[in-house]
Amino acid sequence: MSIGGIKPKHQRLVLVVIALVALIGAGLLAAWALRNQASYFYLPAEMAAKPPEQGRAVRLGGMVETGSIKTEADGVTIHFIVGDGKARIPVSFRGIVPDLFKEGSGAVAEGRIGPDGTFVADNLLAKHDERYVPREMKDMTAQQARATVAETQ
């Protein structure tokens, strides 16, 4: 059985390839349409442009601004600022922070926006980037930096 003298093998090849292209196209379009809904958190710029309703549980993710972490007198309540270079949002959190929660590093806060515009987090997650650097190498560059400083003095 062949149409127009094409071998059945080639006919199947063309059909399967067309089906595959259509399928992958549909999958990618669906994933693209989901790009806002499937995001795990809002960026500070998105939250500043379109603030969620007060009291609605959302996640906010960005970089913890250097020098912004302040601990209250009770020792477990902290205030810090999450930014993405375009907007800065103050966050407060009461509890134990993850080990990798540091200034200048990524963080995701789960909570809701308060009446004064502060994001009140009831859970805090640390987000690290894709770079991996050995501890020794980091120390070595610090030593090299010190050596360079000593040489120039």
Partner 1 sequence: MHGFANPARFLRLARWLTMPCLVAGVVIAAAALWWGLLRAPADALQGDSVRILYLHVPAAWLGMWGWGAIAAASFAELVWRHPLAAIAARAAAVPGAFYTVLCLASGSLWGRPAWGAWWVWDGRLTSMLVLLFLYFAYMALADAAGRDGDGNSRLAAIFGLVGAVNIPIIHYSVIWWNSLHQPPSISMGKSAMASDFLYPLLVSVLGFTLIFAGVVLARMRAILADSQAEARLRRKAMSEDAG
Q: Is 105 in the site for partner 1 (CB under 8 A)?
A: yes
Q: Is 56 in the site for partner 1 (CB under 8 A)?
A: no
Helix (H, G, I), strand (E, B) or coil at 141: helix
Q: Which amino acid is at 21?
A: V
Q: Which of 7, 35, 50, 56 binds partner 1 (CB under 8 A)?
A: 35
Q: Which of 2, 6, 12, 147 binds partner 1 (CB under 8 A)?
A: 12
Q: Smallest gap, in angstroms, from Cβ of residue 16 to partner 1?
A: 5
- Residue count of the chain: 153
Q: CB neighbours of 63 closer than 8 A, spacing ≥ 6? A: 82, 83, 84, 104, 105, 106, 107
Whether the CB-CB separation of 74 and 119 falls below 8 Å is answered with no
Q: Is 63 in the site for partner 1 (CB under 8 A)?
A: no
Chain contacts with partner 1 (rule: CB under 8 A) = 9, 12-13, 16, 19-20, 23-24, 26-28, 31-32, 34-35, 38-43, 61, 97-102, 105, 108, 124-138
